[in-house]
Structure 1
Amino acid sequence: MVTASRSERGLLEPVIKRIEKHPELAYSLLEIKPDWGMSFIFDCVSIWLDREKPDIVLIPCDRKEQVPVALVCLSKNVPIAHFYSGSSIGGNIQDEIYGMIIALCSHIHLCHDEGAAEILRKIGIEDWRIKVVGSTAFDDVILDYSLVPDEPFDLVLINPDTVSKERTERDIEEALGRLWRRSVIIGPNEDKNREIILKKIEEFIRKGKVVCDFYESVSRGQFLALLKKCEHFITNSSSAFYEAPYFSTPCILIGERNKFRKVPPKIVTGASDRIVEILASIKIDEKLLRKRLII
Structure 2
Amino acid sequence: MKKIIAVTAARSEYDLLHSVYLRLNEDAGFDFKLIVSGPHLSPTYGLTVDQIKKDGFVIADYCFNLLDSDEKLARVVSVGNQIPLIAQTLYRENPDLVIVAGDREDVISVCITAAYMSIPVAHFFGGDIAKDGNIDNTVRYAASKFANVHFTTLHEHAETLKKLGENDWRIHVVGNPALDRFLSTKVCSKRDLLKNLDVDLSEDRKYGVVIQHSILTEVDQQERQMRNTMESLLKTDLFYFINYPNSDPGSLDIRTVINEYCTKYPDRFFSFKNLDRIVYVNLLRYASVLVGNSSSGLLEAPSLNLPAVNVGNRQRGRVHGENVIFVDHDQQQILSAIDKCLNDVDFRNLVEECKNPYGDGDSAQKVIQALRNLKFDDELIYKNITY
Decide: shared fold, TM above 0.5: yes
- For residues 131 and 370 of structure 2, the distance between their equivalents in structure 1, rounded to whole angstroms, comes to 27
Secondary structure (helix, strand or coil) at the match of 2:165 reads coil
CA contact (8 A) 1:81 1:106 kept: yes
Match of 1:183 among 233, 237, 240: 240
User: How far apart are residue 175 of structure 1 and its match?
Assistant: 2.1
Matches within 5 A, 1:2-81: 2-34=7-39, 35-36=66-67, 37-81=78-122
Within the alignment, does 1:240 sit opposite 2:332 as a pair? Answer: no
Structure 2 residue matching 1:99: 3-state secondary structure:
helix
**Partner Cα distance (2:91, 2:132) in 1:** 34
Aligned residue number for residue 366 of structure 2: 274
Contact 2:220 2:250 in 1 (8 A): no
Inter-partner Cα distance in structure 1 for 2:82 and 2:247: 16
TM-fit CA distance, 1:166: 2.7
Matched residue of 1:28: which SS?
A: strand
Deviations along 1:228-247, whole A, 9 cap, x unmatched? 22111101111111111112
**Shift in Å at residue 210 of structure 1?**
5.2
Partner residue in 1 for 2:210: 156
CA, structure 1 residues 230+92, in 2 after alignment: closer, same or farther (shift >3 Å)? farther
Cα distance in 2 between the residues matched to 1:256 and 1:91: 5
Report the residue type matching 1:173 in the other structure. R
Residue 292 (str. 1) matches residue 333 (str. 2) = no
Contact 1:143 1:222 in 2 (8 A): no
Greater mean deviation of Cα atoms: 227-236 or 105-114: 227-236
Whole-Å separation in 1 of the counterparts to 2:362 and 2:378:
30
Equivalent residue for 1:198, pick from 255, 260, 263? 255
CA contact (8 A) 1:61 1:88 kept: no
Q: Does structure 1 conserve the Cα–Cα contact (< 8 Å) formed by 2:134 and 2:215?
A: no
Post-superposition Cα deviations, 1:117-154, rounded to whole Å, max 9, x if no partner, equal 11111211111111001111132333455248522111
Report the counterpart of residue 171 of structure 2 in structure 1: 130
- Tell me the amino acid that sits aligned with residue 178 of structure 2: A
- Measured in 1, the distance between the counterparts of 2:382 and 2:166 equals 12
Paired residues for 1:168-179 under 5 Å: 168-179=222-233
1:226 lines up with 2:267 in the alignment: no
One-letter code of the match for 2:148?
H
Deviates more, 1:26-35 or 1:104-113: 26-35
Is 1:183–1:210's contact at 8 Å kept on the other side of the alignment?
no
Contact 2:211 2:245 in 1 (8 A): yes
Give the Cα–Cα distance (whole angstroms) in 2 for the partners of residues 143 and 176 of structure 1. 30
What amino acid is the match of 2:138? I
| 2:234 corresponds to 1:142 | no
Decide whether aligned partners of structure 1 residues 92 and 231 sit closer, same or farther in structure 2, where only a CA change above 3 A counts.
farther
Deviates more, 1:254-263 or 1:134-143: 134-143
CA distance in 2, matches of 1:86, 1:19: 24
Letter in 2 for 1:7: S
Letter in 1 for 2:115: L
Deviation of 1:2 (Å): 0.4
Q: Which amino acid aligns with 1:172?
A: M
Report how far residue 69 of structure 1 moved: 0.4
Tell me which amino acid in the other structure corresponds to 1:287. E
- What is the DSSP-based 3-state SS (H/G/I as helix, E as strand, rest coil) of the residue aligned with 1:27? strand
Give the Cα separation in 1 of the matches to 2:187 and 2:9.
24
Whole-angstrom CA distance in 2 between matches of 1:47 and 1:10: 26
CA radius of gyration, larger in: 2
**Residue 260 in 1 paired to residue 317 in 2?**
yes
The Cα of 1:220 is off from its aligned counterpart by: 2.6
How high is the sequence identity, in percent, across the aligned residues?
25
Partner in structure 1 of residue 51 of structure 2: none
Q: Retained in 1: the 8 A contact 2:125–2:151?
A: yes
Higher helix share: 2
1:3 to 1:92, Cα distance in 2 relative to 1, 3 A: farther
Name the TM-score, length of structure 1 as normaliser.
0.93
Secondary structure of the residue aligned to 2:210 is strand
TM-score (norm 2): 0.72
Please tell me whether residue 108 in structure 1 is matched to residue 154 in structure 2.
Answer: no
Count of aligned pairs between the two proteins: 295
- Counterparts of 1:20 and 1:260, CA distance in 2: 35
Deviation at 1:281, TM superposition (A): 2.2
Unaligned residue ranges in structure 2 (runs of 5+) = 1-5, 40-65, 68-77, 322-355
Distance change in 2, residues 1:285/1:74 (3 Å): same
Query: Partner of 1:160: helix, strand, or coil?
Result: coil
Specify whether residues 224 and 91 from structure 1 end up closer, same or farther in structure 2 by C-alpha distance, changes over 3 A only.
farther
